[in-house]
Amino acid sequence: MAAARRGNRTLLISTDPAPSLGDAFRRRFRSEPTAIPLRRGLLDAVEIDARGALERWIDARRAALERIALRGTWLDSEDVSRLLSLALPGIDELAALFEITRFANGGRYDVVVVDTAPTGHTLHMLTMPDTLRALARVFDQMQSKHRVMVEALRGRWIPDAEDALIEEIDRDGQELRALLRDPARVQIAWVTLPEPMAVEETVDASAALRLDGIPLAEVIVNRVTPKRERPCPWCDRRRPLERAAIVAMERRLPRHVGVTGIEARRKEPTGVRALSAIGEEMAAASAPSMTRGATPKGRWRALPPPARRAGVVSTMASAGAQVILFGGKGGVGKTTCAAAASIAIAKNAPRRRVLLVSTDPAHSLADAFGESISDIPRRVRGAPSNLLVREMDAAAGFRAVRARYVDSIDALFDRLVRGSGSVQLEAGHDRRVMQGLIDLAPPGIDELAAVIGVTDSIESNPGQIVVLDTAPSGHALRLLEMPALVQDWTKALMSIVLKYQPVAGIGEFGADLLKLSQGLGRLRALLVDPGRAAFVVVTRGASLPRAETLRLIERLRAMRIHVPAVIVNATGRGSCRTCREEAHAEQREIEKLRHEIPSEIKTVVTPAELPPPRRAAALHAWQRQWRT
């Protein structure tokens, strides 16, 4: 809004699979620009339809892509058509880049502002140009077989439309990669909160961007608590904690990165007027207002509401529960809730092993427990001995699968080339094509393969309870939708590699594909069994999180996934006038939520606490204050 009021023709785009732009402006947006009425300036908004965007991109190139695949593989036209029509979640990031460049290059706008998905998947989106170039290499290998044949028959090769398409895809990848690294054309602003866990995630994101050569321009610290006129147990504790978090972040960020502060509002900022005020505050680029002073001693916790104490296990899962997923909008505190609930579950069932696993690419379990956690399950200090914690390295797991696939293809062709020279020439090309097929795996399959590994551990240890700390809403849904859809990709790839089976076998990769396919079936059956699986939604007492929570519950129920409870996290404030106003607004939102969700879903309310609960003992003490 600030850009539009300065005279720029401005487009606002959301690339989040669970967008909230419409909630923020109190209007509905579509996949094509919708005007936002302003007294001065032009501002349009778009909520990207990722699947539609990718289908448009493929449809415009489908005939040429099919010809390349038919020329360079053993697939018939039906197989090729099936591969190109697979509608898979996980293409959000690539489709988002297609749409951003489509609108940016259209000449209609001076500035495009992008509201991205949460941390892990935004970082993934920024690496998608390399994926696009990998796609070009796979098709180039397929096309090379046709080039050799034509050159042998005609004496020379003249590039055709298919070569032009491969060059276009590779050029798009190169240009996107260069664009994202050009500070003259792209400015990346990272939005964070003045809290220890949010700051840690921001510092990690900054390091990841720097490693990829992508410049970070500034960090925007949102919801900074302003100084109050009168003493307040919440505000007086929160300000020094915020100052400590911001100072620690500034010390660890590159020196050129500016830090801008946005003050917390009394009311949730929705609508043109409220958002315009925040835009002007951001445009002023003022440093966060931080008052010095010692933090009052002791821990402060908002008084729990006069309600029944929540029994975590009975409220969130049946006695036979094997997997409990925690998810919700980014920034609502789902990791803290998942960690606290896992401790309570482990204490309640001392004879059952409880495994807490983070599937969020931007892990926060280590911050919640205050110690290092890796892909290898381990105990944490102060927690029950039957609780193990793991931050899943999905990419490493899929790299191992890919390496076995490449080794299997190499072993296969090593046997094939023990014949004539002509077979060796053909096999050399086909080896490269077959090895490249794994690079066409749908994005997100690495996360899915790792979750299937967790499912296998459940199958091998039926008494175990697995608690999954998932990625924020849109990508948690993507993960849950993938089992049914990835089976199509698995079957398509199996049909390709099995064409070699009569010749020489397909080695370990065949077993990997079979295991993946069988694991998908077991995972699907597990997720829709309310006696074994449950999804606990975490939210906050505000209108935007409430709106996203209702949409999330609707999607989960459509997938037949059991939702036993919604946790409204960090409720209550201090005694100053602003805190009282915020607390009243929060209670109104909680009551609205209770009336809008299905009656069988219980509402669990957790108290706000300063400092935020961290480490096992504090997490457990905080969880004991949860109420239904």
For the chain, domain boundaries: 1-87+95-119+129-180, 187-298, 301-397+440-623
Phi, psi (degrees; rounded to nearest 5) at 366: -60, -40
- Mean pLDDT per 10-residue run, the chain (628 residues)? 93 87 92 92 91 79 82 66 57 75 89 85 78 81 77 79 90 88 91 91 90 91 89 89 93 93 90 92 81 69 71 76 88 92 93 88 86 92 95 72 65 59 52 62 57 70 86 64 62 60 51 64 81 93 92 90 94 89 92 95 93 94 92
CATH code, residues 301-397+440-623: 3.40.50.300
Q: pLDDT at position 290, please?
A: 66
Give long-range contacts, CB 8 A cutoff, 24+ apart: 241-245. Answer: 241/194, 241/195, 241/295, 241/610, 241/611, 242/194, 242/195, 242/288, 242/290, 243/194, 243/290, 243/291, 243/292, 244/295, 245/194, 245/195, 245/196, 245/198, 245/199
Which pTM was predicted? Answer: 0.80
What is the end-to-end Cα distance of the chain in Å, rounded?
Answer: 40
Phi, psi (degrees; rounded to nearest 5) at 495: -65, -30
Q: Are 367 and 196 in contact (CB under 8 A)?
A: yes
Same fold flag, 187-298 and 301-397+440-623: yes
Q: pLDDT at position 212, please?
A: 87
Query: Average model confidence (pLDDT) for the chain?
Result: 82
Q: pLDDT at position 271, please?
A: 93
What number of CA atoms fall less than 13 Å from residue 248's CA on the CB side?
Answer: 17
Fold of 187-298: Rossmann fold (3.40.50)
DSSP annotation string for 530-564: TTTEEEEEEE-SSHHHHHHHHHHHHHHHHTT----
